Every structure is written in structure tokens, then in C-alpha cells.
Amino acid sequence: MSDTATTPNTVTFDQFGLHADILKAITEQGYTTPTPIQAKAIPVVLGGRDVMGAAQTGTGKTAGFALPIIQRLLPLANTSASPARHPVRALILTPTRELADQVAANVQSYAKHTALRSAVVFGGVDMNPQSAELRRGVEVLIATPGRLLDHVQQKTANLGQVQMLVLDEADRMLDMGFLPDLQRILNLLPSERQTLLFSATFSPEIKKLASTYLRNPQTIEVARSNSTATNVTQIVFEVAEGDKTGAVVQLIRERSLKQVIVFCNSKIGASRLARQLERDGVVATAIHGDRTQSERMQALDAFKRGEIEALVATDVAARGLDIAELPAVINFDLPFNAEDYVHRIGRTGRAGASGDALSLFSPNERKQLADIEKLIKRPLDVQRLAVDTPVRHHHDERGSRRDRDDRGSRRRTTGAHERPSHGAHHRQQPVDDFFLKPYEPSPSAVSASAKREEVPAAQQKPASKQPLAALLGGFGMPRKTTSSN
């Protein structure tokens, strides 16, 4: 049986009883007052209870569980060089590499004035540096499930002393795709532990499943479940499917967007759209699961530095990316999973700032639009968009291939007399009429044939009377006779 936390009055970080070293780090991060999810979650986590925390994206959920974890581990912090004195005591699991890296950066900044060690492990990069860091010992480990199991198999990670488990973006962590790996990890943890689940979206099915991992959890909700931030303006533009690329270019130019994340549903579609935007003069790059981790991190760093205008991404970037003052996101495709819409638009309007969530809607996406409106429990503003910059034909790679194939076919079927002339040296040589006339035997060949016909049959050379089989070698070669001595 879970109970729900009540909304506290205005509080400050000093009132939580946090250590001075943690408060110093908070001040250096520029935090002044806790967000609603932090104000509710920090006291509960400090009390040792299991938590199911639901809050809108960009409201500081990471600090809501990271700060109390660091506070609870401080009595065990030490400066010993022995790895045995630094076992993994807190495990934070995330569904994506980018989110793991973001959480690790936050934990490191919060604990930088303490003796606690933290590390992050995720796939797509070399395991050896991660293994070396784990062997030295860490108290707080941030990981993606697959790479964590790799380290467990290599015996570089021991989870036998974990006291606190956090499932960040828990709705995705408990998705069927992660459930087998998650179950294997839970079997390696002590049964006596504190479990925290944080996410922006909790479906009834996910809540029922999560209850099997929690003991008497306290539910913390600072806003209606699955709701979107009120400081994000949401507009849906109805355009034809073939005009979507031109619509993206037009929105970027009309709104003078210097930074925007454009979401696509497929990896191939993201790569294709990034190339098309580049041809239209928009500095863009793609980020998706087929790119290496180093390429993904380089693209994100360049985007954060302002070197890239449009970051075209799949839902791998829908969770965990914290980009300060991102003015807008564009949904090139409406997501198939309505909950992903909430996470996508949560990349803008973070930390109280305003932002725009612009979505392109074609007639074949009516079901996705209806699912989104049902989830967020409000209708979206749908507007018609007249695209002034239609997609050029050379932007469609498949169309370009078809055009090239058609041109090649026409060249193959064009006759010699239809080929254009490119100069005197390409002119055809004159053809001798002799090669165009039908065959006529010469007079000498006719007279020789007549002479053969005039020879009497008796004077003609007799034909060989040897059987045909003998001519073909069927009777064998004749034997040679030898004279006797």
C-alpha cells in the first residue's frame, strides 16, 4: 500500500539537513531553491523509504535522488586506496547511454567535495578503461543494463553490497525489452535495499509491475501523471508527407532557430533528413543507435557548443539530454508511442524556461495524434502550414536513383542516329555502299561451278567406298604387316 506525499511549503536546501560539502556543491551549481519534485523526494529518500516519483521532464529529478544518496553514503566515505573500502553501494540504472553520462556528470558535481567515488559504464566504448576504474573501487555506479552485465560477467563489478537502487526513466527500464536484463541484475542485489523509481510517465501497467520491486513505496507526484510542462507551447502543423522537409527548413528560418532538436521515428529517416537539411543550408547532424558512441558524444558536444543548428535524432535523445535554454524541438514524425511525445518535448522548456514544441502532422498520422491527445488529456492546436520551400527532387534519394535509372535506360535504347553530336571528331564516318548490298556471286565463281557440272560423271573422282564408321574411327586403325625373316 503506497501513500502520496503532500506538497510542502516553500523550503530551502538547508532545511534538508544536507552536509556542508553537499550544500557547497549545490551553491556552485547555481541552485537556490529546490524544485517541487526535489522538495518532496529528498526528505522521503533520506528517510530510507522506497519511492515512485513522477514529475515532468526538466524538473530536476536527478538531484531529487542523487543528493540524498550522497548524504546517506557520506558516513561510509573514506580516502583509503584499497578497492575493498570502496564497494558499490548505490546503483543507478538508465535506459540510454546519453542519460547515463548526464546522470554521472550530475553525481560527480554534487559529490566533488566529498571522498565518495562515482563511475559510469555504458556500451559502445572500450570496456578496459571502465574495468580499470571499477577495480579501483567506486561507491556510486551509474550504468546501462547491458554493459553492467558485461562487467559482472568479467568479474569487474560486484553488486553484493548495494544498499540503494535507482531506476531512472523507470517506464522505459521496465519495458519488455529491458525486463530480462533488469531481472538478472535484481537477482544479484541484496534483498534488503532501498529502491527508487523516477520517471515522467507511469502507465497503470508499469505501476503494477513496479510494485513487485518496491516495498511499501511512497508515491510522489508533483503534477498530473503524463502531463506536459505548462511553459512549453505546443503546436501541430498539418502538412503533406512530401513537404515535411521543406516545413522543417521553413520553421527554422522563420523562427530564427539557432538550436533545435528534430525527432524522427527511424535511424534511416534521421540520417536522410540530416543530409537534406545540409543541402538546404542548415548545419545539421544525426544521432541514433547506428552511430558509434564517440560519434554520438561528439555530435552532442558540438550541438551544445552551438556549432550545429539542427540535431536530428531518434528517441535515443528523447530522454536525459539536458541542454540549457533549448528554444524548440520539432517532431518530424509523430512518435508511435505516445509517452515518447512527453519526453521529446521535455527537452525544451527546462528549469522553468519557455520553449516551443512544434510537430508536423500528415494525414496518415491521425492515430498517433489521437493517442497523444488521449495521454496528455488535452487537445493540441492543429494549424495548416503552407510550405514555401518544397522539397527539391534531388533531396529524394530514391527518386534520384529512379531518375538516373530512367536516363540510363533511355541511353541504352537510343539509336546511333539519335545521339547528339558533340563536335567534328564525334561525327560518324561514311559507310561504303558495298556492305549494304545483298550477296551476289562473282562471275569467276559462276563459271567454275558451270565447268564442274559439264564434266561427265564417269570422269569424276569416285567417292570413297569406305564405310562411314571407318571414316570416324569406329573400326580401328588398319594393322601393319611385317615380313618374316
CATH of the domain at 45: 3.40.50.300
92 belongs to a structural domain: yes
Asked which of 345, 375, 397 is the last residue of a domain, the reply is: 397
Query: Same domain for 159 and 263?
Result: no
Per-residue confidence (pLDDT) for residue 448, from 0 to 100: 53
426 belongs to a structural domain: no
Query: Same domain for 288 and 387?
Result: yes
Asked if residue 139 lies in contact with residue 53, where contact means CB atoms within 8 angstroms, the answer is no
Per-residue confidence (pLDDT) for residue 29, from 0 to 100: 87
Asked if residue 60 lies in contact with residue 351, where contact means CB atoms within 8 angstroms, the answer is yes
484 belongs to a structural domain: no
Query: Same domain for 322 and 354?
Result: yes
Query: Same domain for 216 and 118?
Result: yes
Burial 440-462, CB ≥16 within 10 A → b, else e: eeeeeeeeeeeeeeeeeeeeeee
Per-residue confidence (pLDDT) for residue 473, from 0 to 100: 56
Query: Same domain for 217 and 250?
Result: no
Asked if residue 141 lies in contact with residue 92, where contact means CB atoms within 8 angstroms, the answer is yes
Per-residue confidence (pLDDT) for residue 417, from 0 to 100: 39
User: In the numeric block, which cell numbers belong to residue 310?
Assistant: 539542427
Per-residue confidence (pLDDT) for residue 173, from 0 to 100: 74
The number of folded domains in the chain is 2
Asked which of 199, 221, 243 is the last residue of a domain, the reply is: 221
411 belongs to a structural domain: no
Query: Same domain for 278 and 155?
Result: no
Per-residue confidence (pLDDT) for residue 407, from 0 to 100: 43
Per-residue confidence (pLDDT) for residue 147, from 0 to 100: 94
Per-residue confidence (pLDDT) for residue 103, from 0 to 100: 92
Query: Same domain for 271 and 200?
Result: no
Query: Same domain for 204 and 297?
Result: no
**Among the listed residues 37, 38, 9, 36, the one whose alpha carbon sits nearest the alpha carbon of residue 26:** 38
Per-residue confidence (pLDDT) for residue 478, from 0 to 100: 52
Residue 290's CB is within 10 A of a number of other CB atoms, namely 13
Q: Where are the alpha helices (DSSP H) in 414-485?
A: 443-454, 468-471
438 belongs to a structural domain: no
Asked which of 221, 252, 278 is the last residue of a domain, the reply is: 221
Asked if residue 416 lies in contact with residue 428, where contact means CB atoms within 8 angstroms, the answer is yes
Query: Same domain for 169 and 302?
Result: no
Asked if residue 184 lies in contact with residue 149, where contact means CB atoms within 8 angstroms, the answer is yes
Exposed, middle or buried, 324 (CB in 10 Å: 0-12/13-18/19+)? exposed
Query: Same domain for 23 and 155?
Result: yes
Cβ-Cβ contacts under 8 Å for 160 (sequence gap 6 or more)? 87, 188, 190
Per-residue confidence (pLDDT) for residue 339, from 0 to 100: 81
Distance CA 481, CA 478 (A): 9
**Residue 261 is part of which domain span?**
232-397
Long-range contacts for 265-270 (Cβ within 8 Å, ≥24 apart)? 265/314, 265/315, 265/333, 265/335, 265/336, 266/314, 266/333, 267/314, 269/332, 269/333, 270/312, 270/313, 270/314
Distance CA 204, CA 390 (A): 43
Query: Same domain for 167 and 259?
Result: no
474 belongs to a structural domain: no
62 belongs to a structural domain: yes
336 belongs to a structural domain: yes
**Among the listed residues 43, 18, 44, 40, the one whose alpha carbon sits nearest the alpha carbon of residue 214:** 44
Query: Same domain for 210 and 111?
Result: yes
For each of the chain's 485 residues, which pLDDT tens digit applies? Answer: 445 454 445 788 989 999 999 999 999 988 888 988 899 999 999 999 999 888 766 678 889 999 999 999 999 999 999 999 999 999 999 988 888 988 999 999 999 999 999 999 998 889 999 999 999 999 999 999 999 999 999 999 999 999 999 998 877 776 657 888 988 999 999 999 999 988 766 777 677 777 788 888 898 887 655 566 677 889 999 999 889 999 999 999 999 999 999 999 999 999 999 999 999 999 999 988 788 878 888 888 898 888 999 999 888 776 666 677 788 999 999 998 888 888 888 888 766 677 899 999 998 999 999 999 998 888 998 898 888 755 444 444 444 444 444 444 444 444 433 444 444 444 445 555 555 556 666 665 555 555 555 555 445 555 555 555 555 555 555 555 444 44
Distance CA 186, CA 195 (A): 11
